[in-house]
Structure formats: structure tokens, C-alpha cells
Amino acid sequence: MNDVRTIVILTGAGISAESGLATFRGPGGLWEGHRVEDVCTPEALARDPALVHRFYDLRRAALREVAPNAAHLALARLDADWAGELLIVTQNVDDLHERAGASRLLHMHGELTSALCAGCEARVRWPDPLPPGAACASCGAPALRPDIVFFGEMPYEMERIERALAGCDLFVSIGTSGAVYPAAGFVQLANHYGARTLELNLEPSGGSGWFDESRMGAASVLVPAWVEEILR
């Protein structure tokens, strides 16, 4: 891969699984009898804000119990040592990439440690429990909600992501089932623009057929090995 200069990496829940955070569609993907998909919608927030806020309060609190694993650390090393362009696009709302030290990072589905004003769209750091109806410091509206992109909402920074995909030489997808668009379509976009595409996942995913190469195994093993290879 001597000709690679520009890399885009997409990560999903699988990269944080070995840190102890449950994935969405594997075992443990249910919460208090609700399908996770049924809690992460604008409709659920309107119908039962206390339930939705409690769900994210618990997940935010869980961040304190976990630490980055070898896969996050390897990507942080790549971020530090890769002289070319790099963008890590994560679908994860945990903060394990940044705690590992990665900075060329974008959270396309929002962040647990941030709150969003449903009124003026201000985003503020919010590491604590977030009660429904908390007031926004910018506009005063009692409208702070978890800064999470719900099903049916547009992910953050799509233009920047599409530009990066259009200009990359290599697209690497790590620990994602390829079940949720638009992220599931990034491999097709990268292919379309002529990038090489590589998947690192525990098992074949919905998108496996689109990748030039798929390697199956645990992220904590596959990611450090690939980073070693690309930096060599």
C-alpha cells in the first residue's frame, strides 16, 4: 500500500465492544425490554422524554466504567504517526477514540458527553445526567436534549465526510454491521471515487460484498496489525 496517502476510517460499535460497551444488534442490544431503535427516535423523545433521557444518562455514566482498548489505541497511534491525510469518522457516541488520543476525528452520530438545544441548535459539553427540560445557556429555551442523531435525523458533517471519501485512496470500515445508512453506503461512495476498500469486522457484515478485502476477527487484534502494516 505504498501509494496510499489519504485514508478515511469508519468505526462502529464493534470497536468499543471489547471495552465493554454493548453493540446495537448483537446480544445485549435490548434495553429494559425496548429495542434500542425504539428509544433513539424523535418520536420517542416527544412521547416519553424521561425514558429517552434515562437511557442516555445510563450510557453516559457507563463511559466512566470503560477504557479504550487496543483498537482505539492503534488508531490514535495512526493519527499521530500518519503523515498523509486522515479522517476517522465514528458512528459511536462514546468518547473512547478521543480518550485514546485520536484527534482527526468526527462523531457523525453525536456524542454522549454533549447536549443539543432543540431550539437554537447550540451544542454544549454535558458530562453529567441531563434532566428533560434543562435550559439552554445560549437561548434560554428549556430545550436541551441528548446530542445524539436519532433515526430519521441527518448525521453531522455529511458534506465534509463525502468530500473526504471522494478524495481518499483507502477506506477502512471497522466494527460496523453496515445496517444503518448513510454510513452503510460509504463503501460504495469510496468505491465509486476509486479508493481501495478494506473491512475489519468480527463477522461478515451487510456491506462485506462491497469491499475489496474483508478481514474477520476481533478489532483488538485486527486493527493494531493493520496499523502496523500501513505505517511500515
Q: Indicate whether 68 belongs to the interface with ligand APR (CB under 6 A).
A: no
Q: Cβ(79)–Cβ(86) under 8 Å? A: yes
- Residue 88: all three cell numbers together: 476517522
Q: Is the peptide bond before 146 cis (omega within 30 degrees of 0)?
A: no
Q: Indicate whether 13 belongs to the interface with ligand APR (CB under 6 A).
A: yes
Q: Which of 14, 146, 207, 224 binds ligand APR (CB under 6 A)?
A: 14
Q: Indicate if 107 belongs to the active site.
A: no
**Would you list the DSSP string of 119-131?**
TT--EEE--S---
Of 5 and 59, the one with the shorter C-beta distance to ligand APR is: 59
In the complex, least distance from residue 134 CB atom to ligand APR, rounded to whole angstroms: 23
Question: Distance between CA atoms of 99 and 86, rounded to whole angstroms?
Answer: 18
Question: Distance between CA atoms of 220 and 201, rounded to whole angstroms?
Answer: 10
**With contacts defined by CB under 6 A, how many residues of the chain interact with ligand APR?**
23
Q: Which helix (H) or strand (E) holds 8?
A: strand 7-11
Question: Distance between CA atoms of 70 and 164, rounded to whole angstroms?
Answer: 26
Q: Which of 161, 180, 187, 198 binds ligand APR (CB under 6 A)?
A: 180
Q: Which of 202, 208, 215, 230 binds ligand APR (CB under 6 A)?
A: 202
Residue type, 22: A
CB-facing half-sphere around the CA of 202: CA atoms within 13 A: 16
Q: Indicate whether 23 belongs to the interface with ligand APR (CB under 6 A).
A: yes
68 is in an annotated binding site: no
Residue span 36-55 as binding mask against ligand APR, x where in contact by CB under 6 A, dash where not? x-------------------
Of 130 and 184, the one with the shorter C-beta distance to ligand APR is: 184
Q: Supply the residues annotated as catalytic.
A: 109
Which residues make up each annotated binding site? 12-31, 56, 59, 91-94, 117, 120, 136, 139, 175-177, 201-203, 219
